[in-house]
Homo-oligomer: A and B are copies of this chain.
Amino acid sequence: VARRASVHRIPTAHPGDTAGLAALLDAPGGPRAEEIVAILGKTEGIGCVNDFTRAWAAEALAGLLARRTGTTPEAVASRVALVMSGGTEGGLSPHLLVIAVAEDPGPPAPGARLAVGTAFTPAFAPEAIGRMPMVRAVAEAVRAAMAQAGIADPADVHYVQVKCPLLTTARIAAAEARGAVVATRDTYTSMGLSRGASALGVALALGEVAEAALSDAAIGHDLSLFSGRASCSAGVELERCEVVILGNAAGWSGDLIVAHDVMADAIDLPSVQRALGAAGLGTGGGQLPREEAEARLVALLCKAEPSRSGAIRGARHIMWDDSDIHATRHARALVGGVVAAATGQTAHFVSGGAEHQGPDGGGPVAVIARLA
């Protein structure tokens, strides 16, 4: 028997909206609740500290899946990666990407198809967050997820989603009571360090950086070190890292494949077009034709961040200096426009906070497509 990975893009009417997921589960041929391994969601919050739309969405989704599987929300959350990303600025459209893996009674596809693997690290001591032990643990989890997905060659991995913990005041205090020293006492800063360490763990596992180049000091500082396939987000609700990898592998059925490229900066349209092309989409260099997009573009996922230099190709941007709108909100709106220019769609998983995830000011872009 083969495995079949399916990805379902579902629009949401508000952060707590689970009607679309319920309809998917009820639909003939839809996935069963037990088959869902991950849900990635864009919610319409502000994507910053006081964005409660993520927690509400995760709570609502876990509640629905618990009712459908006869378990508790806690059991669902321990098994399914629920990665809610706040912020649908500009034209971005709130939606869920529901990822399921099912047994397929038929034979595997003749070529490689979308393969999904998930893995979890152990819980981290506070002093490990944002440091080399986290890098190594994430690398180990990526290897485990690759094995689960049946992917041997790191080159066949095209997207790695990591949900990682952060330091809270309570965790810092607990560590310091033991005499331990944490990477930072600033909780907001810890989010970036945790994302960065996680991304470097991905880069290490995929051979994108050499272990010798890595150190605590490099995390958050040496931006020349990065993964072109990692997408990391930090959340207060977990103490471990949750890893979802998407790649192409033999042994899977269905008609989905995944590809990726790396945006060199926030307006790098050609890289988005290359990623679409690598997934078999697009012909000319312009916008994806609407029929093709609707029929075959299943999902686009990318990272967005303002360049630290304060400029894009030499022209000043104001994202860092705007005390009204957080820099990540500007960046998501901008990159959302660039990828929408390429695809003619707006329901894309554009996520902020890209430390060591692509070069400074740029980031990975991955495309899941249906074969023609």
Contact = CB atoms under 8 A, between A and B. Distances in A.
Interface of A: 11, 13-16, 44-46, 48-53, 55-56, 59-60, 88-95, 266-267, 269-270, 273, 284-287, 290, 312-313, 315-319, 321-326, 329-331, 333-338, 340-342, 344-347
A360 to B, nearest CB: 14
Contact of A93 (B317, B335, B336): B317
A170 to B, nearest CB: 12
A53 B51 contact: no
A285 B14 CA distance: 36
A323 B344 CA distance: 27
A138 to B, nearest CB: 27
Contacts of A329: 325
Nearest to A282: B285
Contacts of A345: 313, 315
Contact of A90 (B46, B94, B337, B342): B337
Contacts of A321: 44, 49-50
Contacts of A60: 59
A56 B319 CA distance: 21
A56 B285 contact: no
Contacts of A330: 89-91, 333
Given A321-B50, A337-B267, A11 B92 contact: no
Give the interface SS of chain A, mostly helix, strand, loop or mixed.
loop
A286 B52 CA distance: 38
Nearest to A45: B52
24 contacts: A15-B56, A16-B56, A16-B59, A46-B323, A49-B323, A50-B321, A52-B53, A56-B56, A90-B330, A91-B312, A91-B330, A267-B340, A267-B341, A267-B346, A269-B344, A270-B286, A273-B286, A284-B284, A286-B286, A313-B344, A313-B345, A315-B346, A323-B326, A333-B334
Given A56-B56, A59-B16, A338-B340, A93 B323 contact: no
Given A285-B287, A334-B340, A337-B340, 5 more contacts: A14-B52, A50-B322, A89-B330, A269-B287, A325-B325
B91 A334 contact: yes
A50 B91 contact: no
Contacts of A90: 90, 317, 319, 330-331, 333-334, 337
Nearest to A91: B334
Nearest to A50: B321
A341 B338 CA distance: 5
Contacts of A316: 11, 13, 93-94
A105 B315 CA distance: 35
A109 to B, nearest CB: 30
A320 B290 CA distance: 25
